[in-house]
Amino acid sequence: MIFNTLWKRLFGFSKTHLTATEDDIMKKFLIVGLGNIGEKYDNTRHNIGFKIVDAFVKEFDGSFETEKLGDIAKLKIKGKTVIVLKPNTYMNLSGKAVKYWMQKENIQVENLLIITDDLNIDFGKIRIKGKGSSGGHNGLKDIQDKFNTGSYPRFRFGVGADYSKGRQVDYVLGEWSAEEESAMIERIPTSVNAITSFINAGLANTMNEFNGK
């Protein structure tokens, strides 16, 4: 009910009114990795979303192409169409790209998954939820502002909070230490499996299997 109400608010009609053909079209997923564009951000903690979707697309032999508001990869997974987005709007304008591609591809809100870093979660841990606050994250905040709700699935990868007072921005925009990078790379396959589970098994099953891992 919540997702259907949000769908109607965003796009002007209820998804329960779709025809059978349109319902088939709606079997699409939008997987979004958040990050900042540019080489100087490539290996920063804030760009873990980009790293995870890069690995996910590679796992399914896909590739990205630059399109409107971001880099896009289109995959087929067990009969489902999966669109993967890396916004090129910078983190604090992520909602613009997400909303555009949801509208363009007619993606249901429950088939959207936003992947991002989180300071409030221990390093390397995964937390997947169907709704929540932005938690101070600029990318999630802009998405919430564009949708006027926090009711959309999100996948948060813990980057820890090993920084001194007032150094939060420096920390998230800082590069991984050698030890962190090695451990992060080991965690990427689990993240890829979690995304695949979201597509094939749904949100609830994925939360049960992967949260806290």
Phi, psi of 116 (to 5 degrees): -150, 170
152, 190 Cβ separation under 8 angstroms? no
User: Alpha carbon of 61 to those of 84, 163, 192: distances in Å?
Assistant: 13, 37, 13
Residue 24 to residue 52: CA distance in whole angstroms? 28
Q: Would the annotation count 41 as a binding residue?
A: yes
- Report residue 48 as tokens: 């873990």
- Report residue 204 as tokens: 């609830």
Per the residue annotation, which of 46, 127, 146, 154 is the catalytic one? 46
Q: Would the annotation count 90 as a binding residue?
A: yes
* CA nearest neighbour of 95 among 160, 140, 45: 140
Q: Would the annotation count 200 as a binding residue?
A: no
- Report residue 2 as tokens: 């919540």
Q: Would the annotation count 92 as a binding residue?
A: yes
Within 10 A of 39 (CB to CB), how many other CB atoms are there? 6
- The answer to whether residue 46 is catalytic is yes
* DSSP annotation of 8: H
User: Alpha carbon of 5 to those of 14, 75, 97, 109: distances in Å?
Assistant: 7, 28, 21, 10
- Report residue 167 as tokens: 């150094």
| Residue list, annotated binding site for tRNA | 41, 90, 92, 138
- Residues of each annotated binding site: 41, 90, 92, 138
Active site residues: 46
